[in-house]
Structure 1
Amino acid sequence: MDTDLNRSRTARAGGGWRSSASRTIALGAALLAAGCTFTLTPPERPAVSALPPPAAVNSATLDQYRAAVAQRIAERNPSYVLQGMPQAMLRSLVVVSFTVDRDGRVLQSAVYRTNGDDEAESTALATLRRAAPLPQPPEKLLNGRGQLELFEDWLFNDNGKFQLRELASPQAQTIN
């Protein structure tokens, strides 16, 4: 039924591409019969880019920026950063959402997900504030307001020290 409907629409619209191709061939034959010479030039094909698609470029750039932000947080808060392997059963996982402007200023931050550990939540937010201003984000990552929204995970051991997921070592496999 749909096929018949499409054929009917095509016929009413002037025959579609087949009709157009037939007219071109007929015109070419008429010009040849009249002794005219002509050249058919095929349409240009779009150039194939050797660059990766924009999403791939932005993804790689975003990963690099996230690593730079995590490095800045760790550098500005050395006494809170866990050195070595996180324990098998973490004390807390705090996910923080935050918005950065084009100058690296943290405009907004909030705990996005937590297990209810108030001390770990406070530490995560405080260490983010102490790291500001963060590195300037690449222009192509900014939204229409000149901002970038990010998430980072703070992984806390029982001693209150953390690693950021972006930089974290593999966790221990056994509970001591």
Structure 2
Amino acid sequence: MRGNAITSLLALALILTACTITPPQRPLIIASPVAHNSAALSQYRGEVARRILERNPSYVLHGAPQAMLRSLVVVAFSIDHRGQLIAASVYRSNGDDGAESTALATLRRSAPLPLPPAQLLDGRGQIELFEDWLFNDNGKFQLRTFAAPQAQTLD
């Protein structure tokens, strides 16, 4: 009986190796949802950054940020499907309490934020974003999303 099972497996293996697989005439093109969401995410991040800048004009730095920034504050924040700010916290900083407070305050002042596209929402109906606040010595900032290139000299 064992010999018959082995013989059957060998016969099946020979049959399978003799089979050919014909590829389709045209390559299949499947649009990646990740690529679509990536474009939507980039556009939405721009809308959020624009809102922050519009709502906080006296804090916005015009021109090139200085070569040696006073502070870089990275803020993580969550937005619900209605554009409401759910949570915000400093994700990374150099310990500049004033810059951290300004970054969080300018974000809160910007709420409600633009409505996020449905395809970007997680299972709880929220989206989590990160933004970088780049501070000059004068306390004014640019957001990394729209930041001008930094100065090259320490003048």
Query: With structure 2 as the length reference, what TM-score do the two structures score?
Result: 0.85
Counterpart in 1 of 2:12?
15
- Partners of 2:80 and 2:107 lie apart in 1 by 14
Counterpart in 2 of 1:110?
89
3-state SS, counterpart of residue 123 of structure 2 = coil
Query: Cα distance, 1:53 vs. partner?
Result: 1.4
Q: Which runs of 5+ in 2 are unaligned?
A: 1-5
- How many pairs are equivalent? 147
Provide Cα deviations, 1:42-75, integer angstroms capped at 9, x if missing partner.
Answer: 99889833x6411111111111110110000000
- Partners of 2:23 and 2:147 lie apart in 1 by 54
- Partners of 1:45 and 1:138 lie apart in 2 by 37
Task: Give the counterpart letter for 1:125 in structure 2.
Answer: L
Aligned with 1:158 (options 106, 122, 137): 137
3-state SS, counterpart of residue 90 of structure 1 = coil
- Partners of 1:173 and 1:43 lie apart in 2 by 55
Counterpart in 1 of 2:55?
76
- Partners of 1:44 and 1:175 lie apart in 2 by 61
Aligned with 1:48 (options 8, 18, 28): 28
Query: Cα distance, 1:160 vs. partner?
Result: 0.2
Task: Give the counterpart letter for 1:122 in structure 2.
Answer: S
1:121 aligns with 2:103: no
3-state SS, counterpart of residue 58 of structure 1 = helix
Counterpart in 2 of 1:87?
66
- Partners of 1:171 and 1:54 lie apart in 2 by 35
1:149 aligns with 2:128: yes
Q: Any runs of at least 4 consecutive aligned residues in structure 1 with deviations exceeding 6 A, and if so which?
A: 42-47
Query: With structure 1 as the length reference, what TM-score do the two structures score?
Result: 0.75
Q: Which runs of 5+ in 1 are unaligned?
A: 1-7, 25-41
Provide Cα deviations, 1:107-151, integer angstroms capped at 9, x if missing partner.
Answer: 000000000000000000000000001101111111111110110
Query: Which structure's relative contact order is higher, taking Cα pairs within 8 Å and 6+ residues apart?
Result: 2
Percent sequence identity over matched residues?
61
Task: Give the counterpart letter for 2:148 in structure 1.
Answer: S
